[in-house]
Chain A
Amino acid sequence: MKKEGNILLIGIGNSGRQDDGLGWAFLDSLGPELPSNIDVEYRYQLQIEDAELISHYQKVYFIDAYKKLTPEGFFVTECFPKETHSFSSHALPPETILFLAKNVYNKNPESFILGISGESYQLEIGLTETANSNLNKAVSHFCHDILIM
């Protein structure tokens, strides 16, 4: 178990559904030589136990594919705890995970969503050219503007 003060990157998606694999591809692109204070986790979807996981970190990034195309090809936005309701408890949004971490574990890690634009989500392995291009931009931004900060 990691101590307080570390960063968790959670890649969300499914590499068998084309650009839905962007979250995982982002983690892969960072390579194995990450700073020791950074951990990565791969998820098909967020579940309630992830509230317990993030309660051990100071900062969390949720990295996921974004269905809409953005001018930069990606976006980063701060994420806050929020109670949401859904028919399913198998796929919870980041806001609900943060809400549970805050209320059940009394932890409120600084959190961000990194959304990377994709364009196709069919049953196929491999990102589209657009998604690949957007992935590279997101990785570059993350490594130069966020990690170095």
Chain B
Amino acid sequence: MSQKLVIDPVTRVEGHGKVTIHLDDNNKVKDAFFHIVEFRGFERFIQGHPYWEAPVMVQRLCGICPVSHHLAAAKAIDQIVGIDPENLSIPAQKIRKLLHFGQVFQSHALHFFYLASPDLLFGWDADPLKRNVVGVAMEYPKLAKKGILMRKFGQEIIKLVAGKRIHGISTTPGGVHKRINVKERNYFLDGKDIPSIDTMILWAKEIIDFIKEYHLKNKSFLDSFASYPSGHLGLVNKENGFLELYDGNLRATDAAGNITLDDVPNNDYNEHFYESVEKWSYLKFPYLKHLGKNKGWNRVGPLARINICEGIETPLAEKERLDFKLASNGKINNMTMHTHWARLIEILYCAEMMKNLLEDDDILSNDLIRKGERRKEGIGIIEAPRGTLIHHYEVDDKDRITRCNLIVSTTHNNEPMNQAVRWVANNVLSGEPEITEGMMNQIEVAIRAYDPCLSCATHALGQMPLEVNLIDNKGVLIDEKRR
């Protein structure tokens, strides 16, 4: 009798998703799907609102990465008031980047220490009552303290620039609201009240050393688990092709490293992407038009970014990137679990960039806002923690938004996450007479590598427990597990 296995919801990810695995009469996997079952519809209900409300409203998509939405929308609205990224004042650019690096730093710290480390430290077969951040705090208190303070540092940077840690406001069309003062920046430099930015750099290096050592001890697992060939997409610096998180050109490669999207300017994105839909998910499937739906999908996020860039401008992160490249013999890295490693390199990069910006007197300047000639359309693309984030708005003569299109990082990773689920289904579950807790968690481990934000991707809010249902080929529920 053929069966269907359902994991609903998936845990330790941001948002609510479920997995179904279809089994045949011999318990062999026939197919597997990662469903996103939330729906909210920000793109629709923002229509009719004045364009200047967009950066404030759309950040409510998410409580984890609101800064990313705030900044992507701000970049788009800058264009509405006639300001392209390069025409923003230098202080405004640097203050926005400081905000962005603080956001990516805290988000990556949250993911690694809170969500991913329990699997690495305890193993996926460990008791789920222990395999969580509280368990990490109890057994590895020094590591937990560092994780907490690294996240706190990023959140304090966000609070400095945007006024509060979640859903703050920093940008205004064509610039930013406020400069930084000397006392505020010294808070992050002198180490008197919180560990300094130099300590953050030191700890970031330490945690990279941890993952490198872990890789040496667990090479077979990290190199093979849920790995598959894929395209890779992200922004790169317009001048030199280096890693770029705030403003750059779109670049993509195929699994072998051949360029499939050649440094395309942000405003041309729409010429290159389609989004398909499936009846079993609210999450769309973006792909490159010229490659088609089956070959044009790409991973986004830390692994993709490190793959496509030609270098990193900060010395310590660049050294780590070169070490990272050795793990794939200098070629494109398609090893899913290496995403954690890439994420930690980005933590170091963000820390180094924050130090550079905090020590830059431009952030003390009052030259904060530019004005230009009004336009009817604006496109903002940034690299959010989870990958390439696209905001696109059209407005009418009365300043009302008439159209909004959001392609969120996790949306790009929709097909990659489905590929990862299929890998686990085929390599771990297929043919097994019983689905164990450890097997279930391996599906989540594969999804978790992408740090998906399902709330963002469907623009919805929801919960994140785990449920597994076993359903026969007639759709009848024959077994259920929930936690």
Contact = CB atoms under 8 A, between A and B. Distances in A.
B114 A44 contact: no
Contacts of A52: 145, 148-149, 152
Q: Which of B141, B148, B155 has the most CB of A within 10 A?
A: B148
A83 interface: yes
Interface string B124-142: 0000010011100110010
Contacts of B463: 87-88
B155 to A, nearest CB: 8
Contact of A48 (B12, B114, B166, B483): B114
A87 B466 contact: yes
Contacts of A87: 11, 463-466, 483
B141 A104 contact: yes
Given A48-B114, A87-B466, A104 B145 contact: yes
A51 B134 CA distance: 11
A112 to B, nearest CB: 22
Interface in B99-137: 114-115, 129, 132-134, 137
A24 to B, nearest CB: 12
A104 B284 CA distance: 42
A102 to B, nearest CB: 11
A85 B132 contact: yes
A103 B141 contact: yes
A49 interface: yes
B138 A103 contact: yes
A96 interface: yes
Interface residues of A, number: 19
A89 interface: yes
A63 B12 CA distance: 26
A40 to B, nearest CB: 13
Interface string A1-23: 10000000000000000000000
Contact of A88 (B11, B148, B166): B11
A96 B132 CA distance: 13
Contacts of B137: 48, 51, 100, 103-104
The 3 closest A-B pairs by CB, nearest first: A87-B465, A89-B133, A49-B148
Interface of A: 1, 44, 48-49, 51-52, 83, 85, 87-90, 92, 96, 99-100, 103-105
Given A49-B151, A87-B465, 9 more contacts: A44-B63, A51-B148, A83-B134, A87-B466, A88-B11, A89-B114, A89-B115, A103-B137, A104-B141
Interface in B139-163: 141, 144-145, 148-149, 151-152, 155
A92 B114 CA distance: 12
Contacts of A51: 137, 148
A105 B114 CA distance: 17
Contacts of A49: 148, 151-152, 155
Given A103-B138, A104-B141, A89 B132 contact: yes
Point out which of A83, A88, A96 has the most chain B C-beta atoms below 10 A from its C-beta: A88
A51 B392 CA distance: 40
A51 B147 CA distance: 12
Contacts of A90: 14, 464
A89 B144 CA distance: 13
Contacts of A85: 129, 132, 134
Contacts of A100: 134, 137
A89 B152 contact: no
Nearest to B152: A49
